[in-house]
Structure 1
Amino acid sequence: MAELGLCSRREADAWIARGWVLVNGQPAEMGMPVAPDVQIEVLPQARHQQAGQVTILLHKPMGYVSGQPEDGHEAAATLIGAPSQWRGDARTPEDGRRFASEHTRGLAPCGRLDIDSTGLLVLSQDGRVARTLIGENSGIEKEYLVRVHWAPNGPQGEGVVSQNVQAVFPAQQLARLRHGLSLDDQPLKPAQVDWMNPEQLRFVLVEGKKRQIRRMCEQVGLHVVGLKRIRIGNVVLGNLPVGQWRFLGVGESF
């Protein structure tokens, strides 16, 4: 069911346990083998429950972790509540919802954003969203604005350049950022990397290794001093203020 994109694996287990899944007209059983030509039917109760699930877009501030609290830092999910819902969020009956306590149940981050990074973080109750964004074969683009210093001897070493970095950064190193680096003994997929201004780069990645951009920059003599995610797939951060959130709207998709 998960491979067909009907739901997440966790949802599939819950639906089967409730009797909401039929195989050739008979209630499915947990772990039962099925042939490729069987007919799988999902009852309306499951679809109704799925339709009530929310996906939330948060402008994560620095100092919050994406997942579980760690090292004294709070989880980004603690920012989700009525006071922090963006006033610019949709309010029409067909495309707007006000916050309710049940919207935080089972709400999970769909990907990482480092504690010292800001920008768009997606949290969802819908396992299909997580599969789309961080599944093994995802391929969803993620766009970042990255402020850098030229620090060939490390951020505390000699020769640090903080202004007009573009002028001193070797062109061949920019080419390596685009394609040619490895992390954790694995070659990285090609990335789009371009200068936005003399101190800021734009990265577009289709993968998300831990602290990937910072580690990529270190390999070519750059030190990241600011990192902000501004887009995931077709969904942009836009004017969403830091520390505030909105619902993924009707008609929006990654």
Structure 2
Amino acid sequence: MTDPVRLSKRLIELVGCSRREAELFIEGGWVTVDGVVIDEPQFKVDKQAVALMPGARAEKPEAVTLLLNVPVGMSAEAALQLVSPASLSAEHSAGTRPLKGHFLRQEAISTLQANASGLMVFSQDWKVLRKLTDDRSKIEQEYVVEVDGQMAPHGLNRLNHGLMHKGKELPKVKASWQNETRLRFAMKNPQPGVIAQLCEAVGLKILSMRRIRVGGVSIGKVPEGQWRYMTDKEKF
């Protein structure tokens, strides 16, 4: 009888690599135990079949950005708890393999309007973090807002050209009707509460609102409470 050993130790014995290389192979999702990918170097193995996949690279996994369709009223901290391999959108599960390292050191960026649902962005990629921080005033966000009430005369025109409300100048936005009860708002770096103020200024009450896009990145058909990876082709 032999005692179970760390997966990293077994891999070293198997392929003759260094300890650091073994850890990188495992954390990168290149090692299987009885045919199942295991990405934890400390995982204990006994007589299971351990294998290194063809083309394996001893490199630190690339930083990833996660796009979550968050339910209404959820803080970033609570929303991050929803993100796991089990909540990856089935329609977007092909391609990138979820690894334990993908869920570490994720930072929430580009906060939602109060009482809004929809796209929330988490990233461990410094380039994405810097882009959404340094260029926030240039990046357009889009919300779909369910409203109730009768819009004031020329209300849509007023929204698109700027208006005063309770002595405060509100910004110009791109506003249009999606249908009889839903408005689309597109604006750069919306300040907290500004969409509610805009709607109130033209006689409308918000029933719900959902962010669907930040820059060139859309939440798409991801179900509420689920997430997907941002692809290399997408740009904020």
Identify whether the pair has TM-score above 0.5, normalized to the shorter chain.
yes
Instruction: Label 1:88 to 1:119 Cα distance change in 2 as closer, same or farther (>3 A).
Output: same
Q: 5+ residue gaps in structure 1?
A: 1-47, 69-74, 151-167
Identity %: 34
- Distance in 2, matches of 1:182 and 1:101, equals 49
1:117–1:197 distance in 2 versus 1, CA, 3 Å: same
Aligned to 2:13: none
The alignment partner of 1:252 has SS state of coil
| Residue-pair matches, total | 178
**Cα pair 1:143 1:205 within 8 Å, conserved:** yes
Cα deviation digits, residues 87-116 of structure 1 (max 9, x gap): 12252xxxx322222222221111112453
- Mapping for residues 1-254 of structure 1, pairs under 5 Å: 52-66=62-76, 68=77, 75-91=78-94, 96-114=95-113, 116-135=115-134, 138-150=137-149, 168-181=150-163, 187-254=169-236
Please, which runs of 5 or more residues in structure 2 have no aligned partner? Answer: 1-58
Counterpart CA distance in 2 for 1:100 and 1:184 is: 50
Distance 1:176 1:85, change over 3 A: same
State whether residues 136 and 188 of structure 2, in contact with CA within 8 Å, keep that contact through their aligned partners in structure 1: no
Q: Determine if contact 1:106/1:125 at 8 Å carries over to the other structure.
A: yes
Tell me if structure 1 keeps the 8 A contact 2:114–2:193: no
Q: Within 2, Cα distance between the matches of 1:110 and 1:185?
A: 31
User: Counterpart of 1:174 in 2: which secondary structure?
Assistant: helix
> Could you tell me whether the CA contact under 8 Å between 1:189 and 1:207 is conserved in 2?
no
From the CA coordinates, give the structure whose radius of gyration is larger. 2
Is the 1:132–1:140 contact (alpha carbons within 8 Å) kept by the matching residues of 2?
no
Shift of 1:62: 1.7
Structure whose residues are more often strand by fraction = 2
Q: Distance in 2 between matches of 1:183 and 1:125?
A: 39
- Tell me the TM-score normalised to structure 2 length: 0.67
**Aligned residues: CA RMSD:** 2.5
> What is the CA distance between 1:132 and its match in structure 2?
2.2
Separation in structure 2 between the aligned mates of residue 182 and residue 76 of structure 1, nearest angstrom: 35
Counterpart secondary structure, 1:169:
coil
